[in-house]
């Protein structure tokens, strides 16, 4: 076999094949290729070859939330190798680590990896990686509620990406949709032309973008489309974990809660509950907030106020610990909704409406106003 004849070549080709299979419905295909690569690399004992396999793992599972902890272990292993291309590889590793750390709720850690990655990408003149990291700077700015800063990073990242062969409009669309959702609009009518592709159960980039925007849309048309998207998701049997999965399912949970489509609450809770301590990031471009806020809203829709409150405490504590000001406002909105006393609810909602408007979160402000008046 090739592995026997030229183990170094095999250990380099196999991870590349794994990266090429990262969207394969059978996750075992990429995993098998990487295991084989690891075996061959260990036989060579060559640190450069071992590094290639680790980079293959990091790229194959880049942004995949089910492997966030494992990702940070691989990053540490790569840093310890001190191989010949370690400077370039470390920038890639730090870039991937930003998503894993953020997903695990370690916002300070994500920021540390981000700063190290930026320094490395600028020193080594790696413009594509720098652009990727700029999208991530915008995600951190969104988390903190600095929407103007997020928009500034988006403009620069899109400009750099357009000058490379790798540019796909999807990154910009998803980044813009995330920002629109945080602010609560206004949604340009041209976004209406975007339609999710049925094949992927809406997991494709456009499906995720539509889902994000529908969480801040109202009216019978929006509700009908939301029901369609949730049905498409529920009918997709082979949902592998890819980089959009957790963010998409978190947004779908908000969609089900927003439009009170409670028939989808149970399957969404089954998918999301294992990740309820996490922040749902979508690659380095999108943000869907703490998973626990989404599960809290689903429990509330099902009438289980006690469980809704437990998850709400988790979400709010995570946001307060990590400076997630917009999330704190969203948590306060659900707290208002769960307040039984009409006078207390109206007073809390009125105060929230003012704070949300001041923070530039129009959708939360409007929802709070409506609650205060109800």
By percentage, how much of the chain surpasses pLDDT 70? 93
Number of neighbouring beta carbons within 10 Å of residue 346: 16
pLDDT of residue 165: 57
Tens digit of pLDDT for each residue in 56-67?
Answer: 999 999 999 999
Contact 103, 320 (CB under 8 A): no
Helices (H), 124-273: 127-144, 147-162, 169-183, 205-214, 220-234, 245-258, 265-272
Q: Which residue has the higher pLDDT, 267 or 197?
A: 267
> d(Cα 272, Cα 82) in Å, to the nearest integer?
38
Tens digit of pLDDT for each residue in 243-279?
Answer: 999 999 999 999 999 999 999 999 999 999 999 999 9
Contact 365, 357 (CB under 8 A): yes
> d(Cα 353, Cα 367) in Å, to the nearest integer?
8
Sole residue written with tokens 């981000």: 114
pLDDT of residue 322: 98
Mean pLDDT of 204-221: 88
DSSP 274: G
Question: Is the per-residue pLDDT at 161 higher than 90?
Answer: no
- Hey, what are 213's tokens? 């925007």
pTM: 0.93
> d(Cα 135, Cα 153) in Å, to the nearest integer?
7
> d(Cα 125, Cα 135) in Å, to the nearest integer?
17
Question: Is the per-residue pLDDT at 195 higher than 60?
Answer: no
Radius of gyration of the chain from Cα atoms?
21
């Amino acid at each position: 076999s090739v592995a026997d004849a030229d183990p170094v070549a095999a250990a380099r080709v196999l991870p590349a094949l794994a990266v090429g299979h990262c969207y394969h419905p059978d996750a075992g295909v990429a995993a098998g290729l990487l295991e084989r690569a690891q075996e061959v690399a260990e036989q060579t004992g060559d640190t450069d070859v071992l590094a290639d396999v680790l980079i293959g793992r990091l790229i194959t599972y880049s942004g995949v939330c089910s492997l966030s902890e494992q990702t940070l272990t691989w990053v540490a292993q790569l840093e310890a190798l001190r191989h010949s291309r370690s400077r370039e590889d470390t920038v890639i590793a730090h870039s991937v680590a930003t998503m894993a750390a953020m997903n695990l709720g370690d916002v300070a850690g994500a920021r540390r990896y981000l700063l190290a990655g930026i320094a490395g990408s600028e020193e080594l003149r790696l413009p594509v990686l720098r652009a990727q990291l700029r999208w991530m700077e915008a995600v951190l700015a969104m988390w903190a509620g600095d929407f103007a800063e997020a928009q500034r990073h988006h403009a620069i990242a899109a400009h750099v990406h357009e000058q490379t062969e790798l540019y796909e409009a999807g990154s910009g669309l998803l980044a813009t949709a995330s920002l629109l959702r945080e602010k609560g609009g206004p949604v340009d009518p041209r976004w209406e032309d975007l339609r999710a592709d049925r094949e992927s159960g809406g997991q494709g980039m456009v499906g995720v973008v539509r889902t994000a925007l529908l969480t801040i849309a109202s009216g019978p048309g929006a509700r009908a489309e939301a029901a369609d998207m949730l049905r498409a998701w529920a009918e997709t049997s082979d949902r592998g974990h890819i980089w959009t999965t957790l963010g998409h399912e978190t947004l779908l949970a908000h969609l089900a809660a927003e439009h009170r489509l409670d028939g989808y609450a149970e399957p969404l809770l089954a998918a999301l509950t294992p990740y309820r301590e996490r922040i749902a990031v979508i690659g380095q471009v999108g943000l869907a907030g703490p998973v626990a806020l989404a599960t809290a809203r689903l429990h509330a829709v099902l009438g289980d106020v006690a469980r809704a409150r437990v998850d709400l405490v988790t979400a709010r504590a995570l946001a307060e610990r990590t400076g997630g000001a917009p999330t704190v406002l969203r948590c306060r909105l659900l707290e208002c909704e769960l307040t039984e006393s009409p006078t207390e609810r109206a007073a809390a909602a009125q105060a929230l409406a003012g704070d949300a408007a001041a923070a530039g979160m129009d959708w939360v402000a409007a929802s709070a106003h409506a609650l205060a008046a109800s």
